[in-house]
Amino acid sequence: MSEDRRTRRTRRLLREAFVSLVLERGYAGITVEDITTRADVGRATFYTHYTDKDALLDGIVTDLIEEMQRRLQPLIVGSVEGFTGKPVLELFRHAAEERDAYRVILRGEGDGRALRRFTEDRTAAAAQIFSARAAAQGVELRIDADVLARAWVGEVLATLQWWLESGSALSAEQITDQLLNLSLRGRYWASGFDDESPTRP
């Protein structure tokens, strides 16, 4: 038990040191020595847990993905509701709690590897949800599930990055509500027009 607590504490210190350094200097500008100095742990201790800084970044992404899966599971298991916005709200709430780690990932630090992995995970989850929802309601998707999921996830993650970086006063609930309205009513409605059949030039 005490060993587990010690391991968790060490990993947390290394993660916090790594994230703060990346935000200050960029991923390429830091070394393992920088991380251990900031975390106040020995290099040998670092290598007990991670092979290099790439592995540390991968570990952070894994932790975020697993936590998101845990949070979303009760919302999506057996759900056949239409777009509720609940999974998006949970993502924004989680990002608010892990703001700096999300900023590192969404900035594409580490040659974009972490961002690609996180995006692929969210895209696969969205495609599964969209397909299952359509099947449960007896309708057919009009757009390929992968295209639909990538468009949706790209929109959400771009908005999430802006929200985290800009210091926007909008709450997670307000952002989710706006994204939900955009999803349900479309960009034409969101631009202020009421006619659902816009005239094409």
pLDDT in tens, 147-197: 999 999 999 999 999 999 998 999 999 999 999 999 888 888 889 987 655
SS3 78: coil
Tell me: do 99 and 167 sit in the same domain: yes
Say how many residues make up the chain. Answer: 201
Residue 193 lies in a domain: no
Number of domains in the chain: 2
Of 75, 61, 48, nearest to 18 (Cα)?
Answer: 61
C-alpha span between 14 and 19 (Å, rounded): 9
The structure tokens listed for 8 are 């968790």
Q: Answer yes or no: do 143 and 94 share one domain.
A: yes
d(CA 198, CA 41): 62
Claim to verify: residue 63 and residue 45 sit in the same structural domain: no
| CB 72 within 8 Å of CB 90 | yes
Taking only the tens place, the pLDDT of each residue in 58-68 is: 999 999 999 99
Residues 88/180, Cβ–Cβ less than 8 Å: yes
Query: 79 and 27: one domain?
Result: no
Q: Are residues 130 and 158 in the same domain?
A: yes
Domain limits for position 165: 53-182
What would the mean pLDDT of 7-25 be, rounded to a whole number? 96
Contact between 91 and 160 under an 8 Å Cβ cutoff? The reply is yes
Q: Does one domain contain both 74 and 166?
A: yes
Please indicate, yes or no, whether residues 144 and 71 belong to a single structural domain of this protein. yes
pLDDT at 27 over 90: yes
Q: For residues 88 and 176, is the Cβ–Cβ distance under 8 A? A: yes
Query: Is position 192 within any domain?
Result: no
Please indicate, yes or no, whether residues 22 and 116 belong to a single structural domain of this protein: no
Q: Are residues 82 and 164 in the same domain?
A: yes
